[in-house]
Amino acid sequence: MTVVFSFYEFFAGGGMARLGLGNAWRCLFANDFDRAKADVYRRYFRDGALSNTDIRQLTTADLPGRADLVWGSFPCQDLSLAGMGAGLNGERSGTFWAFMRLMEQLRRERRLPAVIAVENVVGALYSNGGADFSAIIEAFSGLDMIVGAMVIDAALFLPQSRPRLFVVAARKDIAMTIMRPDPSSLWHPRALVLAFHRLPGDLAQRWAWWDMPAPPPREIVFADVIEDCPSDVAWHSPFETQRLIGMMSPVNRAKVEAAMLKSRATGRRIVGAIYKRTRRDEAGNKVQRAEVRFDDVAGCLRTPAGGSSRQIILVAERGKLRSRLLSGREAARLMGLPEDYPLPDRYNAAYHLIGDGVAVPVVRHLAQHLIEPLCLAAKQNTLAA
């Protein structure tokens, strides 16, 4: 018999977590305050589940039934290492507390889900000296749940370097089914282990080292997602491409030369990813540099706050170099989105939607190997009671 699980999705964006959960999941309610993202969500799912409302205006009366899971990819700007350091007290990342207010009310109504999962940047481990991470763990502990965290890099599944922090809380009666006795080198890197050791003793008592298998080796590389004739971006002129090369340090220019040699030797198209960075030169002056990687993996997609946050590709093929911005559809593929996923017409809107999302196959792996077994155990315990 096929088991169907239900969920609420907060900070839903374009519905990438919902896509990752898959067909075994039924969305009871979704929410995002961004109108452009909400429009894409509705165009794709067409079921009326999404409310385009600020989470601070929601009450549990807006949430139908009782869900097995609550997912929340709350805003990362104030927790990011590139942010201003406001942390969970910030205007955007502070919406975590509005999310937890709803969870606390669900608990009082005896509608708390079996599992709650939140996702954010790895910078959440360091924000405010680790105090924000402790506050997140304490908030879930206050719901009388067992809580653990993992850092999962999308590069295990897709050709994009995108490590993200996933905090998963579960009811005490089901948590023991998926726990391991110690951290895993794959899912629990040193930064997370250190963050755990900074937790107060009472919170550490409620901690779980969640267990998941490693995914199969990734087969797709960066070059596989690249379009010859994108519709939303144009190839740079030879002058513009050479200007980019001129912005590189000797180390990065050597990477380009090596890619050209490899392309000639193999006959393959070699694709690199460029971000513009502000660095200091030998005299200590701030200069803008173009930094490139040719490891078959794109850099982490980000929201286009400025020109330097938009990723540029550099293609070495048949003895020539070409460059341009990464297209919207290429960015969508780097997040594991299907080809029929609708993108906004404006380039920056599409890039913002994608750069602010969660990688689809990462959610699928997490759901298949952790969230679904936990929710299934909860259903079985309910039937046995």
Shared-domain flag, residues 83 and 121: yes
Q: Is pLDDT above 80 for 314?
A: yes
Shared-domain flag, residues 71 and 191: yes
Q: Is pLDDT above 90 for 354?
A: yes
Shared-domain flag, residues 209 and 236: no
Q: How far apart are CA 13 and CA 36, in angstroms?
A: 9
Q: Is pLDDT above 80 for 143?
A: yes
| Residue found under tokens 């997490």 | 366
Q: What is the average pLDDT across 21-37?
A: 96
Q: For residue range 80-107, what is the model confidence (pLDDT) as tens digits?
A: 655 556 666 666 667 899 999 999 999 9
Shared-domain flag, residues 9 and 87: yes
Confidence class for position 238, pLDDT limits 50, 70, 90: very high
Shared-domain flag, residues 343 and 365: no
Cα 350 to Cα 201, 274, 308, 332: the distances in Å are 44, 19, 16, 9
Q: How far apart are CA 158 and CA 221, in angstroms?
A: 8
* Percent of the chain whose predicted confidence (pLDDT) is above 90: 82
Write out the DSSP string of 287-335.
EEEEEEE-SS-BPPP---SSGGGS-EEEEEETTEEEEEEPPHHHHHHHT
Shared-domain flag, residues 235 and 176: no
Q: Is pLDDT above 90 for 367?
A: yes
Shared-domain flag, residues 287 and 177: no
Contact 147, 208 (CB under 8 A): yes
Q: For residues 179 and 79, which has the higher predicted lDDT (pLDDT)?
A: 179
Shared-domain flag, residues 277 and 293: yes
Q: Which structural domain, as residue segments, surrounds residue 302?
A: 222-354
Q: How many domains does the chain have?
A: 2
What's at 121, amino acid-wise? V
Shared-domain flag, residues 230 and 172: no
Shared-domain flag, residues 108 and 15: yes
Q: Average pLDDT of the chain? A: 92
Q: For residues 77 and 50, which has the higher predicted lDDT (pLDDT)?
A: 50
Q: How far apart are CA 276 and CA 292, in angstroms?
A: 9
CATH of the domain at 68: 3.40.50.150
- pLDDT at 242 (0 to 100): 96
